[in-house]
Structure 1
Amino acid sequence: MNKISTQNVVSTYRRYAPVYDFVFGAVLEPGRRHLTREVGVLRPESLLEVGVGTGLTLFRYPETTRVVGVDLSEDMLSHARHRAGRLQGRDIALHAMDAECMNFPDDSFDCVTVPYVLSVTPNPSRLVAELKRVCKPGGTIYLLNHFSGSRAWWLLEQAVKPIADKIGFRSDFHYEEHVLAHDWEVQEVRAVNLLGLSKLVTIRNA
């Protein structure tokens, strides 16, 4: 698996922050819509979004949910704070924080969402351990990510791998290794985005 450093993530998203919504907004939006629709049905009292980025999902979460968003990139968070500021009356808190070492107490959130983050974090297993720690027992974790395996992804992986290695994105990322290998309960897996290139995985924090 490609090595990704924290500094690599920070520098990559410093470059992307001004154009992220334009480059990745529309193409990944179907997955975000599926994610937030599921959260809307669940209506959790508290929710943590890991990798909140520019805040593209914030306005779609239930108005009654207390939302906390964390991101490693201050540049991305500046856009998210601007969006959150327009959502008057909502309980939204945004923090610059390393999701592999969060300073929240155990069992802090009813729901944790992780949109397009697992394959760009330096240590996915460490991130998973933190997700499980801060999510309440029996709580819900939503992973939204690409995973290797489909024929369409295999072709795309070969095309983007030289670029992915440079910008800190793992094009070769396996569901079995990064989801099934952990001791949590996978409840549903849904293909989302163009050609089903991403999956929305619903997990019960057993």
Structure 2
Amino acid sequence: MSTAGLSTPFKAEFDVNSQEFSLSGVIRPRSIEEIAVNILMLKEAIDQVRGVLYINVRRLVQMNNTAFQAFARVVLDTCQTRPDIRFVIVTSSVVGWTTRMFEHLNRIEPQITIEVYDSTFYPGQSFVEDTSFIPILRTQTKMTWRHERTILPRHGMRSGITMADICCGIGDFAVLVQKEFQPARIVALDHSKASLAYAREVATGFGIADIEYTYGDASEMLLEDDQFDFVSCRHSLQIFNQPEVLLAELYRICRPGGRVYVTNEKNSHCLGEPRSQSIQWTYNEVAKLFSHFEMDVELGPKSRRYLTDAGFDDIIVESFMVTNLDGDPRDFAEVITAWENVYAGEMAVKRGDSPEFIQRFRQGFQDHIFAALHPKGYAGWPIWVASGRKPL
């Protein structure tokens, strides 16, 4: 429910099915009376639960001391009278002050625990946010941009629009869009602080100062509803274990009539010649490896289904092949080398693969590099592009 009477509204909601009481927005009452209805809602929620009550403050932007003391008092008093109940307060690193503030309650009362939601954001987070990947990401974007710059207008890109680039990584895509299409506004959001720091450096290097780089959780964004004409999310649905959750957020921030644009892969379709059999075997294994960590690098052709299920209409799907013939083949080889280092290195080792398997796995990447650099060779990396319109 929305709270009336305050200068800035907020939301307090209780979901009995998940036993979760949520607070979001800005809570700055002048007196406890202004939030009395919400305090009562919390008490009623406590009466209805058994075991654990989750208090979700992931999207709580501000909270003054009056509000904190009022909600905290209810929780602490309950701990004294209800030894059968536990409280789990779910915070986010995106809004770091909530963790610091609510951890105080954990020190007072052992029945209260704090969970930082995005400390284990998704199963593959440590791999995709590996800072060793940062230099090669720029090369990847350079290779895909040759194709995307002609594709984007078909999916709603044009000058003067408002745009959000979600999971922006090192921010180079936003920079290229700004230079090529000149949107009126770009917000670029990512969960990796190292990537965002690099993104700001890239933008400065290009002399671009009007991209709003923002730290955030893509599945729980602190961005308002119906804001953007164009929302991009590239190579990211495939690394979330719940892509539908991310799509719901992309849908929420997109304006009615605006479009959400996604790119994803089907890694088992990576190819090369010569040594095609070794290459094919390795990329089939890449798909299995990612699946082990609850990521789906086969998602590309599934994009239409995901967009339809998320509520979009007027869905456009197309694909392109990045190859060793797109510019310098050494760029292609550098990308494959980076994949080998992470996939056949850290990821395969963490899965517990044998030295014999890893040796064969690495050989497929080496053969792909061989194909890319061979004077008569061909190497390809397929990308699926899809967009959907948010209905009016």
When normalised by structure 1's length, the TM-score is 0.79
* Equivalent in the alignment of 2:312: 184
Whether the aligned pair in 2 keeps the contact of 1:36 and 1:57 (CA below 8 Å) is no
* Equivalent in the alignment of 2:27: none
Deviations 1:61-108 (A, max 9, x none): 233421000011111111111112234464210111111000111111
Instruction: Specify which structure has the higher proportion of helix.
Output: 2
The SS at the match of 1:57 is helix
Q: CA deviation at 1:34?
A: 4.2
- Code of the residue aligned with 2:164 in structure 1: it is L
Q: CA deviation at 1:139?
A: 0.6
Residues 158-197 of structure 1: matches in 2 within 5 Å? 158-165=284-291, 169-173=295-299, 174-175=302-303, 177-194=305-322, 197=382
Deviations 1:105-124 (A, max 9, x none): 11111110111111112321
Whether the aligned pair in 2 keeps the contact of 1:47 and 1:66 (CA below 8 Å) is yes
Please identify, of 184-193 and 11-20, the stretch whose mean Cα deviation from structure 2 is larger: 11-20
RMSD over aligned Cα atoms: 3.1
Q: Choose the corresponding residue for 1:132, options 248, 251, 261.
A: 251
How many residues align structurally?
Answer: 200
Q: Choose the corresponding residue for 1:112, options 231, 238, 241.
A: 231
Once residues 321 and 222 of structure 2 are traced to their aligned partners in structure 1, the CA distance between those partners, rounded to angstroms, is: 33
* Equivalent in the alignment of 2:217: 98
Higher relative contact order (CA closer than 8 Å, sequence separation 6+): 1
Question: Is residue 2:121 matched to residue 1:6?
Answer: yes
* Equivalent in the alignment of 1:121: 240
Q: CA deviation at 1:153?
A: 5.7
Shift in CA distance, 159/10, structure 1 to aligned 2, threshold 3 Å: closer
Whether the aligned pair in 2 keeps the contact of 1:30 and 1:192 (CA below 8 Å) is no
Q: CA deviation at 1:163?
A: 4.2
Q: CA deviation at 1:190?
A: 1.6
**What is the percent sequence identity of the aligned residues?**
19
Unaligned runs of 5+ in 1: none
Whether the aligned pair in 2 keeps the contact of 1:49 and 1:69 (CA below 8 Å) is yes
Unaligned runs of 5+ in 2: 1-119, 272-279, 323-379
Whether the aligned pair in 1 keeps the contact of 2:165 and 2:174 (CA below 8 Å) is no
Question: Is residue 2:192 matched to residue 1:73?
Answer: yes
Shift in CA distance, 185/71, structure 1 to aligned 2, threshold 3 Å: same
